[in-house]
Structure 1
């Protein structure tokens, strides 16, 4: 057995964390021989609920789970952490303007970024889940200047999995037979689910997605809209936001950071833009196709981009620029 790694999950008394913590603690993310110390952070009014979550984790009798620390204090939660999964955020409430949402969240992620900077290991891998995830991630990174910006990412794997699943169902194949879909841009309704480089394994042969689906109008129309609006559809049906699927996506995302992506495959994650890749402005957290090796991601370069795709990639970038500028104005940077 190796030394335990310290993993903090924020919003740990919430809906997503309830579906996530068991998978982390039993070894689905960091490996079946990797002991875990779980640090669970939530706001003070949720501590009673959080203690119930701790009791359940204890009652699972998981051999890899060496210690559980439940707290409402940032310095305790982020102390020497190897991994930070930032799930907790202020949700948008009825009648709330987007600027109000940003105002609430920049305060949260400014303080968490500063706490990471002060207390976490400099090698910490930070995944931001709480929405608006891209901009929250950027704020956290800016307030943790001693931690490389490459260590920060935001979750667009749920959108990636949604796109992959829709293609698979349309073709009548398992989701594992669909690879290299791309989510470009923001985790919002402007995101661009792109299948121009996607391959679908049909009867043992990898076919370009457009050849496998045989319905170009669907792929360029309803498919895109369905993926963009899937989260809202789940809320409408379930009266709650996605939790099980979000937790699965978090696990997929962190496992790929830890162990790398398969040869020849790429996945989607929101990462720091700094070299004008695909004409994306610098200083954004933007979802790109990436490959991961040795816990480091690299944007897949050289992919052909049609005018149709570029217009959608530019639109979601423009939204992120506006969000970033609003958020930075609110924190005075």
Structure 2
């Protein structure tokens, strides 16, 4: 079968003549098929430029380029212009067109009018279905590249929800953003309404339903003091918060991810976007939770999906506590077996306590060295999972670690963002307050609270610098010491946690296990 593609401006008289001849051939020949691509005159040059750039061709009207375009698309032969098409039709089919120039011009005007009417109708039909507007900051990060297919597939927001994805970053990354936009458009997901790039802050978060913040602090020269880092974070959040307050929808959901000051950034967004419900602003802790589950699963020679209820307390990207005391294992191959709903306590099946205190903590602490090679797959999966839980509920009976604004749960002071166990239900989340912590756990939480309160006070200008916790039982690394030790000038982006929190967990894990297994 002969297959042709006719592409041109909607008001081009030569396109009108070629189109009429192609229609005649398609009606009268059994093995002749025509594909038509029309563009508005104002959009023709940009469309041609984009399609040539995508295929690595020079931007010119060459018969060879048009033939390659169609051949690579798998549709046959595409001729480069009006004369080529007429010669081809006469040579192979013995048919020519006797359309006069006046007729060509008249039909060209009608074609343009029809094209505009069709575009208006399509826009109207699209307007009847309001897409979900998702904004992603620092969109040049690898996590964003991997996140887009997950958001557009329908698995996150539901198979009946269209999405429009907006990519925000500095104009330094404009070429990267343009490449991401074109690749996302190539995916042709039915639910992906549009993908756009933005490099101007004043248009950020317009009509946003979901905001995903992937930003981290970048140290271009020397590493500043911890307090200056906090002030830098605060300034950035002041800009973002005011833009979210001004441009986003009232019910916007904000997810804060990254490697540095995740809890503090979530709190500052709440501070500078006061009209947004604080319950709609959360900090992602699931990456650290998932990393711990994967480590435990390798030790037990089982699938990590069978490990549930590992809790991350405290500062997600700072001093945190990985709590295994409530963790359960499902479908674990052992002498004790049961139905799929049967579970056992994790600490009852891990008999090597030395491994928990040493290798487990050590490997998790090495996450920072893996950040340099992070391709963004894990962070993207974690963010997509959190959003899916938020819109479609978390699995029944499971705990999810999340940085949320404290309201006094577990004796944690109000007014700080603290990672704690939650469950998602009916488009919202609730803290799982029915679990009980022993005295040692509460003491650990006091230390974690101290650091977060001090970060908040420095950010708000209430104190000039942070002071250490009064008790000396915890002498973990702080963020500044870690960066100085590793000589990191520009930490890579990605929602991975810094290892000082895992270092804190070495004592915490020991306490938890000793308390559960006296």
Matches within 5 A, 1:118-197: 118-130=246-258, 131-197=260-326
Q: Secondary structure at the match of 1:329?
A: coil
CA distance in 2, matches of 1:122, 1:5: 13
Q: Which runs of 5+ in 2 are unaligned?
A: 1-127, 465-518
2:368 corresponds to: 232
Change (3 A) 1:259 1:113: same
2-structure distance, mates of 1:106, 1:306: 35
Distance 2:218 2:280 in 1: 25
Give the Cα–Cα distance (whole angstroms) in 2 for the partners of residues 61 and 330 of structure 1. 51
Q: Secondary structure at the match of 2:384?
A: helix
Pairwise CA distance, 1:51: 1.0
Which one of 170, 177, 183 corresponds to residue 56 of structure 1?
A: 183
Q: Of 310, 313, 318, which aligns to 2:450?
A: 318
Pick 1 or 2: higher relative contact order, CA cutoff 8 A, min separation 6. Answer: 1
Gaps of 5+ in 1: none
* 1:262 to 2:395 alignment: yes
Q: Report the alpha carbon displacement of residue 230 of structure 1 after superposing the two structures with TM.
A: 4.3
Matches within 5 A, 1:1-333: 3-92=130-219, 95-130=223-258, 131-201=260-330, 202-203=332-333, 204=338, 205-220=342-357, 222-227=359-364, 229-235=365-371, 239-241=372-374, 243-274=376-407, 276-329=408-461
Give the Å deviation of 1:136: 0.7
Cα displacement string for residues 156-201 of structure 1 (whole angstroms, at most 9, x for unaligned residues):
1101111121222211111111111100011134111111111101
Q: How far is the alpha carbon of 1:6 from its aligned partner?
A: 0.6
The Cα offsets for residues 221-244 of structure 1, whole Å up to 9 and x where unpaired, read as 5434543x2431313xxx345722
Distance in 1 of aligned mates of 2:421 and 2:139: 29
Q: Considering only aligned residues, what root-mean-square deviation do their CA atoms show, in Å?
A: 2.2
Q: 1:105 to 1:309 in 2, by over 3 A?
A: same
Structure number, greater radius of gyration? 2
Q: Distance in 1 between matches of 2:219 and 2:374?
A: 11
Equivalent pair of 2:457/2:463 in contact (CA under 8 Å)? no
Asked if structure 2 preserves the Cα contact closer than 8 Å seen for 1:40 and 1:77, the reply is no
Give the distance between the partners of 1:33 and 1:219, measured in 2 at CA: 45
TM-score scaled by length of structure 1: 0.91
TM-superposition CA deviations, 1:278-308 (whole Å, max 9, x none):
1212111110100111111111113121333
